[in-house]
Amino acid sequence: MSISSESRIPVEEPVASKATATSRSGLIYALASYTIWGFLPLFFLALAPAGAFEVVAWRIVFSLVFCVLLLAVTRKFTAFFRLMARPRISITMAVAGVLIYINWQTYVYGTFSGQVVEASLGYFINPIVTVFLGVFFLRERLRLTQWIAVAVSLVAVLVLAISAGSVPWIALILAFSFGLYGYIKKRVGTTVDAVAGLTMETLWLMPIAIVQLVIVGATAGLTIGSAGGWHTALLLAAGVVTAVPLLFFAAASRRLPLIYMGFIQYLGPIIQFFVGVLILHEPMSAERWAGFSLVWLALLILMVDGVVGARRHRRAVLELI
């Protein structure tokens, strides 16, 4: 029995509109997460006179508190404890926790020491580091254009190192720690959702946070509760500011194609870069501009390669159909 075109319209339209709504909400989540990440330096600077070690310690503590509240509200404690009881998952998330701690501590230190621009560089070169990690860990084979992008990025780091008189350690630590963090998270795949993952990571980091708070309290002195109500409120908000963009990012990843996420990921470091240059007035020499230009060229090569690769894959799939 044939189906008329009229009978198909009511079925197809809701499906199409639902897909469009999903993509639209995914785009909103992605833009929100990367915008928050982009303006994080201003939030951390507002936490002065707290130092980098105190800020990160409270960030761990209040992130855990926020995640526990989310688990309680969503009634997912049972599922969370099942995950914790699986040694492979638990150990993997402990490693992820160490990597994100290194990333957080380096980022906050870079912000407090006036190196927001270099921190943005770390997230600019992170996609290239991810490509490198794919070759090293997954034995992936790169196309010629990808090798060119890696080579251009290495030249960029060399130019930046020569112009500054030192290796851009903050950028490299941020890029590799977040790249390895992403690799670890992919190993657990969809087994661990964003809330459960962050809860496990911060739970494993609690001993480090407690040690840092004890040391800071015994030396410089803790600022929470002693620098005004607004300052205390901002420190308490550190957990929400940490968790919310991660949850937005997870929601966007489920709704948007990977190629769109690949483009939107540059919004964060772009905002960080302009915050450093235009708001915090960090110096940009001609050599530094040259180094960043090479990094952006490498990213442009990667993006073009990604678009071409996606089109070829789509064409190959259509030919098989």
C-beta of residue 253 within 8 angstroms of C-beta of residue 34:
no
pLDDT tens-digit readout, 158-199: 888 888 788 899 999 999 998 898 888 877 777 888 888 889
Q: Is the pLDDT of residue 3 over 50?
A: no
Q: Is the pLDDT of residue 260 over 90?
A: no
User: What is the percent of the chain where pLDDT is above 90?
Assistant: 46
Q: Is the pLDDT of residue 21 over 80?
A: no
> What integer pLDDT is reported at residue 138 of this predicted model?
72
User: What is the percent of the chain where pLDDT is above 70?
Assistant: 90
Domain count of the fold of the chain: 1
> What integer pLDDT is reported at residue 18 of this predicted model?
55
pLDDT tens-digit readout, 269-309: 999 999 999 999 999 989 899 999 999 998 888 888 877 77
Which pTM was predicted?
Answer: 0.85
Please check whether residue 281 lies inside any domain of the structure. yes
Mean pLDDT, rounded, for 259-274:
84
pLDDT tens-digit readout, 198-223: 899 999 999 999 999 999 999 989 99
Please check whether residue 300 lies inside any domain of the structure. yes
With b meaning 16 or more CB within 10 Å and e meaning fewer, what string describes 13-34? eeeeeeeeeeeeebeebbebbb
Please check whether residue 280 lies inside any domain of the structure. yes
| Residue 29 confidence class, pLDDT cut points 50, 70, 90 | confident
> Closest by alpha carbon to 84, among 253, 243, 228, 199?
199
Q: Is the pLDDT of residue 5 over 60?
A: no
Please check whether residue 11 lies inside any domain of the structure. no
> What integer pLDDT is reported at residue 54 of this predicted model?
95
Q: Is the pLDDT of residue 76 over 50?
A: yes
- The burial class, CB within 10 Å (0-12 / 13-18 / 19+), for 311 is exposed
Please check whether residue 168 lies inside any domain of the structure. yes
Please check whether residue 223 lies inside any domain of the structure. yes
Q: Is the pLDDT of residue 230 over 80?
A: yes
For 218, phi then psi, to 5°, come to: -80, -15
With b meaning 16 or more CB within 10 Å and e meaning fewer, what string describes 189-224? eeebbbbbbbbbbbbbbeebbeebbeebeeeeebbb
> Closest by alpha carbon to 41, among 309, 280, 297?
280
103-117, 219-233, 296-310: segment of lowest average pLDDT: 296-310
pLDDT tens-digit readout, 236-259: 999 899 889 888 887 887 777 766
Mean pLDDT, rounded, for 40-60:
94
Residue-number span of the structural domain to which 219 is assigned: 34-320
Mean pLDDT, rounded, for 70-90:
90
CA distance 282 to 41: 13
Compute the half-sphere exposure of residue 9: CA atoms within 13 Å on the CB side of its CA. Answer: 3
Which residue type is seen at 162?
I
How far is residue 241 from each of residues 4, 229, 245, 247, 256, measured CA to CA in Å?
53, 18, 7, 11, 23
Mean residue pLDDT of the chain comes to 85
Q: Is the pLDDT of residue 19 over 80?
A: no
> What integer pLDDT is reported at residue 157 of this predicted model?
87
The DSSP annotation for 67-134 comes to: HHHHHHHHT-HHHHHHHHT-HHHHHHHHHHHHHHHHHHHHHHHHHHTT-HHHHHHHHHSHHHHHHHHH
**Regarding predicted confidence, which is higher, 194 or 89?**
89
C-beta of residue 78 within 8 angstroms of C-beta of residue 237:
no
Q: Is the pLDDT of residue 61 over 50?
A: yes
CA distance 210 to 208: 5
